[in-house]
Structure 1
Amino acid sequence: MSLVLYTCLLWLCTSGLWTAQADTHEDSSSHRGLAPTNVDFAFNLFQRLVAMNSNKNTLIAPVSISMALAMLSLGTQGSTQTQFLQSLGFNLTETSEAVIHQNFQSLNYLLKQSESGLEMNSGNVMFLLQNLKLKDSFLADMKHYYESEALSLPSKDWTKASQQINKHVEKKTQGKIEHVFSDLDSPATLILVSYIFLKGTWELPFSPENTREDDFYVNETSSVKVPMMVQSGSIDYFHDSEIPCQLIQMNYVGNGTAFLILPDQGQMDTVIAALNRDTIDRWGKLVTPRQMNLYIPKFSISDTSDLKDVLADVGIKDLFTNQSDFSDTTEDVPLTLTVVHKAMLQLDEGNALPVATNGAPLHLPSESPTLRFNQPFIVLIFDKFTWSSLMMSKITNPA
């Protein structure tokens, strides 16, 4: 095992959420900075996307996007590369470009080794149109650090090309994600697609036989019918007096954990704005087991994000302009770029077989408090092994 990987493993095993204890390995500081740097970028990106999609579901897999952008930066030079890496949160006077890519390589390895209890199909892939040729050094670095690939699309017909992209992602996700593209007015010559499907098995699964239809209040004037999962038992719960919300933390089998956050009526924007590392760290310390009756919608939602506007908003301003320097990517000019992220989250009972209750209804103790996620809420899913942000979502309408 390399010193780099050993140091990363040592840090992950001895640290708190994102606060590591000092150790004696001289290479450890860069690894110690990777998880908090990625999570800071994740919250920044999520908050800006929510603001752009105010009344819609918003769903992203932040660590996948960070990896995709870091991979893309391999082909940049000059101010474009600086914009990329600084916008991802890296201080280039403290951490070299080479170390950043080595850290992502280790993180990618650790995520694949983590027994998260999650069914997760994810990847980043480049598609090349109009006979674009990438440099061999760029392709080699993509494969070495990120285990990614670049695929040429022989057809100049965008309709046929988009169908090829959709089929590739569908195959990679075992049919879970079917449509990344439908149509583009002016497709780019280089298309970077980041995709993820995620569902998990709860440590304390819900019984499918207790799921029943109920109302979900999209806003003050409209509601929809959704299948509502029900559970009664000891739940890790916290009612925040500083940020107007209630929340629970539910663990998946393995290393996955989820925070489900229910803002007070009309306080979604306030809660979203308060999300950061310190907030999650505080919640993780303050949740306490409490006997309660819990109602959570069962849903499967997906979201496709063209990241052009939000990436410019976080500081990568040259990315989609003629000021960008992709000279380490290709000798072909001009290069035009599209970056698309497709995420799908399935939240269900979390066990394969229904509990044999012979149809008997769940007994909900009247003396236990009840928490109903029957209005817009937030779901944050992390991998505790690496403390990577696997999924961030604002659920406005689970139907």
Structure 2
Amino acid sequence: MSLALYTCLFWLCTSGLWTAQAVTDEDSSSHRDLAPTNVDFAFNLYKRLVALNSDKNTLISPVSISMALAMLSLSTRDSTQFLENLGFNLTKMAEAEIHQGFQYLNSLLQQSDTGLEIHMGNAMFLLQNLKLKDSFLADTKHYYESEALTIPSKDWSKASQQINDHVKNKTQGKIELVVSDLDSSATLILVNYIFLKGIWKLPFSPENTREEDFYVNETSTVKVPMMVQSGNIGYFRDSVIPCQMIQMNYVGNGTAFFILPDQGQMDTVIAALNRDTIDRWGKLMTPRQMNLYIPKFSMSDTYDLKDVLADVGIKDLFTNQSDFAGTTKDTPLTLTVLHKAMLQLDEGNVLPVADNGNPVHLPSESLTIKYNRSFLFLAFDKYTWSSLMMGKVMNPV
């Protein structure tokens, strides 16, 4: 199954964390060889963005960014080198198969009934004097459902509004703001966006959500709506990396890790995030009766990926020397890549109305975990092994 090439975390299946239900096609094993490299790329990108926003919330979608960058490879003369910088091994998978796999993956994530509400995509906004080649436009439309829209080159306020309106429409109103004051020297602006919300398999009752303190740092505290749950939940306390964590499943194929570093150990935990760490956590996660407190929040941010992609080896993409021979008809192309991610974390309630009024019973003998200070959030789609979201929550308000 060619989708496994891009979806980052096949090794979690072998750890027992996820069932290997997607591995059914005869040719699937040939694509698993590439998955570890893609995981490394995802964590590398995430760590660099966190470093650039050390005291702020950070939220990205690795699978969404991978799709956007793979799409851009259609525009470059040296697409082989470009794809290799993303971690793909072209001795094992042809370029056409890469794009076909992303096409299939995008369809699975957005159209299958998984209990996850996902709106994701790419849109290219062109200055009026830029003309893209028909072959490039056809390929990006066919494989990635991406559109190319013209924006005014002088009126940046109008251009910003056009970008925001387009993404708002494509996400059914979930993402309303991508740019506020666009002012770019680029002739092409690629906007990559994703919205994620899920229904919990073990839902929180809204009646039990209460206002509590969240400790942003040693001197700052904010009030947050805190969701409360009592149940049997996957748990692991790491004796090697200073943190503890839970695993919460969504209805369908989604699953999420909430990682709570020990006080003052956030940087240490982030530095330790890699394939081996996640694999070990998956093997050691065990069900535990607990009283769980998680803040209810909505988090989003927009990133210009220029600097962070240059740090991971993709430099020429953003220079005037970039070779976009497969893209433009005449005008030289300069590029900006914006990534907009939005996560909505709420009760995910599917309980009958009659049950909602029952207050949660919190057994005193159960383990109590409160996510009332900075923590990490990782969300995956188990069927495709996609890394949907990676977040650092410093302040949920």
TM-score, length basis structure 1: 0.91
Does residue 227 of structure 2 align to residue 229 of structure 1?
yes
Q: Is the 8 A contact 2:130 2:331 kept in 1?
A: no
CA contact (8 A) 2:110 2:119 kept: no
Matches of residues 92-107 of structure 1 in structure 2 within 5 Å?
92-107=90-105
Q: Distance between the aligned counterparts of 2:314 and 2:30, measured in 1?
A: 22
Of the structure 1 ranges 88-97 and 188-197, higher mean CA displacement relative to structure 2 is found in 88-97
The answer for the alignment partner of 2:17 in structure 1 is none
Distance 1:134 1:355, change over 3 A: same
**Partner residue in 2 for 1:321:** 319
Stretch of structure 1 that moved more, 177-186 or 261-270: 177-186
**2:70 alignment counterpart:** 70
Question: Is residue 198 from structure 1 mapped to residue 196 from structure 2 by the alignment?
Answer: yes
Aligned to 1:311: 309
Q: State which drifts further: 261-270 or 153-162.
A: 153-162
Pick one of 203, 209, 212 that aligns with 1:211. 209
Deviation at 1:54, TM superposition (A): 0.3
For each residue in 1:125-162, what CA deviation from the matched residue of structure 2 results, as whole angstroms up to 9, or x when unmatched? 11111331110110111122212221122564111111
Q: 1:358 to 1:243 in 2, by over 3 A?
A: closer
Residue 373 of structure 2 aligns with which residue?
Answer: 375
Q: Deviations over 1:287-345 (max 9, x none)?
A: 11111110000000111111010010110011111221011011233211110011110
- Tell me the alpha carbon deviations over residues 6-49 of structure 1, each in whole angstroms, 9 at most, x when there is no partner: x768xx9xx76365899995x54553245434332211111110
Amino acid paired to 1:61: S
Matching residue of 1:254: 252
Contact 2:129 2:331 in 1 (8 A): no
**Residue by residue, what CA displacement relative to the aligned partner does 1:143-185 show, whole Å, maximum 9, x if unpaired?**
2221222112256411111110100001111111111111133
Provide the rounded CA distance (Å) in 2 between the counterparts of 1:164 and 1:332: 25
SS at match of 1:122: strand
In structure 1, what is the Cα distance between the partners aligned to 2:358 and 2:12?
A: 41
In structure 2, C-alpha distance between the alignment counterparts of 1:58 and 1:390, rounded to whole Å = 14
* Residue of structure 2 in register with 1:158 after alignment: 156
Match of 1:46 in 2: 46
> Contact 2:231 / 2:290 at 8 angstroms: preserved in 1?
yes
What is the deviation of 1:94?
A: 3.8
Distance 1:330 1:291, change over 3 A: same
Asked if 1 retains the 8 angstrom alpha-carbon contact of 2:34 and 2:87, the reply is no
- Whole-angstrom CA distance in 1 between matches of 2:267 and 2:299: 21
| Aligned counterparts of 1:22 and 1:66: Cα–Cα separation in 2 | 21
Aligned position for 1:263: 261
Aligned-residue Cα RMSD (Å) equals 2.3
Question: How does the TM-score come out when normalised to structure 2?
Answer: 0.91
Of 383-392 and 183-192, more deviation after overlay is shown by 183-192
Following the alignment from structure 2 to structure 1, what is the Cα–Cα distance between the partners of residues 63 and 356? 43
AA matched with 1:188: A
Residue 17 (structure 1) aligned with residue 17 (structure 2): no
Aligned partner letter, 1:301: M
Q: Tell me the amino acid that sits aligned with residue 391 of structure 1.
A: M
Distance of 1:208 and 1:286 partners within structure 2 = 31
* CA distance in structure 1 between the partners assigned to 2:142 and 2:288 by the alignment: 47
Q: Is the 8 A contact 1:35 1:387 kept in 2?
A: no
Identity %: 78
Q: Aligned partners of 1:83, 1:214: CA distance in 2, in Å?
A: 51
Partner of 1:292: 290
Distance 1:297 1:354, change over 3 A: farther
Does the 8 Å CA contact 1:114/1:385 hold for their aligned counterparts?
Answer: no
Cα distance, 1:114 vs structure 2: 4.0
Matched-pair contact (CA < 8 Å) for 1:210–1:229: yes
